[in-house]
Copies of this chain bind each other. A is one copy, B any other.
Amino acid sequence: MLLYNSPVSGNCYKVRLLLAHLGLEYETVDVSVVDRARRPELLGDLNPALRVPTLVLDDGRPLAESNAILWYFGDGTRYVPENPYERAQTLQWMFFEQYSHEPYIAVVRFWVAYSGTPERFVDQVAGKMEGGYAALDAIERHLDGRTFLVGERYSIADVSLYAYTHVAHEGGFDLAPYPSIRSWLDGVASQPRHVTIDA
């Protein structure tokens, strides 16, 4: 398998983390998240959104969207629940991640730490951080009294939300007021075969 990858992208890290848990081998092609000019040429036939991660299976079929890739490899393993309601909750948290979490926390982190031009985004950071803290508030409330997001077992919902939450500080987010999130981050990092984002 071939993973069109970015070493700093949390979306790509999700896929690398699950594939590590599953012990699956793959090769990577690193794609810039700053200079996007070559993407149509590189990804045009593989991913309509021209984003990474994009995965090409051994038989050549492409798959895109980080959380869809997690589902593809996770379903049928211990990382996706079997119960229909818990399966829907797993998806609920992954859609929450893409709509209410990533566009704030990942975007601020990119602007501040990886864009190379943080000054271009100064006016927009405060509004985006507000959205990011709203997402963190929602996760904290849910994790109060829970070990993992769904069914008290580590799942791809945790993989998905861990990816950008554990590096939120790079965007300036302060996790000190979020004790349940901090315990949960530790719980994720202590799973068998865990790999770090810079592994």
Asked whether any CB of chain B lies closer than 8 Å to the CB of A29, the reply is no
What residues make up the interface of A, taking CB atoms closer than 8 Å to B?
Answer: 48-49, 57, 61, 63-69, 71-72, 75, 84-85, 87-89, 91-92, 94-96, 98-100, 102-103, 138-139, 141-142
Complex contact A142–B98 (CB within 8 A): no
A-B contact pairs, 28 of them (CB 8 A): A48-B138, A48-B139, A48-B141, A49-B99, A49-B100, A49-B138, A57-B85, A61-B85, A63-B88, A63-B92, A64-B92, A65-B95, A65-B96, A67-B91, A67-B95, A68-B91, A68-B92, A68-B94, A68-B95, A69-B88, A71-B88, A71-B91, A72-B87, A72-B88, A94-B95, A98-B99, A99-B99, A99-B102
**Contact flag A48-B95 (CB < 8 Å), given A84-B75, A88-B69:** no
